[in-house]
């Protein structure tokens, strides 16, 4: 359990680093949005919405890869010699596990994007537009 918590924490830190890089590359865009009337809250919503979509896409991709690998393992195990009480499949993808996986994926992407979103929303428009 401790190892999984450490892995998820490191993932959230990597996500935050990724969003810091994206925000530093999009300073002018954020400055333009702020100068034409976007509020700090609007900027936070945009960045956190992007992070939620990235989490959803990553979660769906992860689930599809896991499902594909499970089919491959089941196929390979089906070619092995029969033994008593051999299951039809070694994996059980229940709907609530998939929903939780997508929820965790989105949650940790949003947590990783929270601090960069707060920093970007506090940036004055003139400063964002002046920097190259």
Tell how far CA 80 is from the center of its chain: 37
Q: What is the mean pLDDT of the chain?
A: 86
Q: For residues 32 and 43, is the Cβ–Cβ distance under 8 A?
A: no
Residue 109 CB coordination number (10 Å):
27
Residue 132 pLDDT greater than 70, yes or no: no
Q: What is the DSSP letter of 94?
A: -
What does the angle CA 92 – CA 97 – CA 98 come to, to the nearest 5 degrees? 100
Q: Give pTM, 2 decimals.
A: 0.79
Q: Structurally, how many domains does the chain consist of?
A: 1
Task: Give residue for tokens 């070619």.
Answer: 79
Provide the residue range defining the domain that includes 22: 2-80+88-130
Q: Tell me, what's the pLDDT at 53?
A: 93
- Label residue 67 by pLDDT band (50, 70, 90): very high
What would the pLDDT profile of 20-42 be if each residue is shown by its tens digit?
A: 888 888 888 888 888 888 888 99
Q: Is-contact 121 44, C-beta < 8 A? A: yes
Tokens of 6: 């450490």
Task: Give the Cα separation of 12 and 18 in Å (integer).
Answer: 10
As a whole-number percent, the residues of the chain with pLDDT over 70 amount to 98
Q: Quick check: 109 and 51 in contact, CB under 8 A?
A: yes
Looking at residue 66, what is its pLDDT? 92
């Amino acid at each position: 359990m401790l190892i999984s918590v450490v892995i998820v924490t490191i993932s959230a830190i990597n996500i935050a680093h990724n969003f810091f890089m994206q925000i530093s590359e999009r300073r002018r865009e954020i400055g333009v949005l702020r100068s034409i009337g976007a509020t700090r809250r609007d900027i936070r919503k945009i960045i956190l919405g992007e992070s939620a979509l990235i989490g959803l896409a990553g979660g769906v991709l992860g689930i599809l890869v896991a499902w594909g690998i499970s089919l491959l393992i089941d196929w390979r195990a089906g070619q092995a010699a029969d033994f008593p009480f051999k299951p039809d499949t070694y994996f059980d993808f229940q709907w609530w596990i998939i929903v939780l996986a997508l929820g965790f994926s989105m949650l940790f992407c949003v947590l990783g994007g929270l601090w960069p979103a707060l920093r970007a929303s506090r940036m004055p428009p003139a400063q964002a537009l002046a920097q190259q």
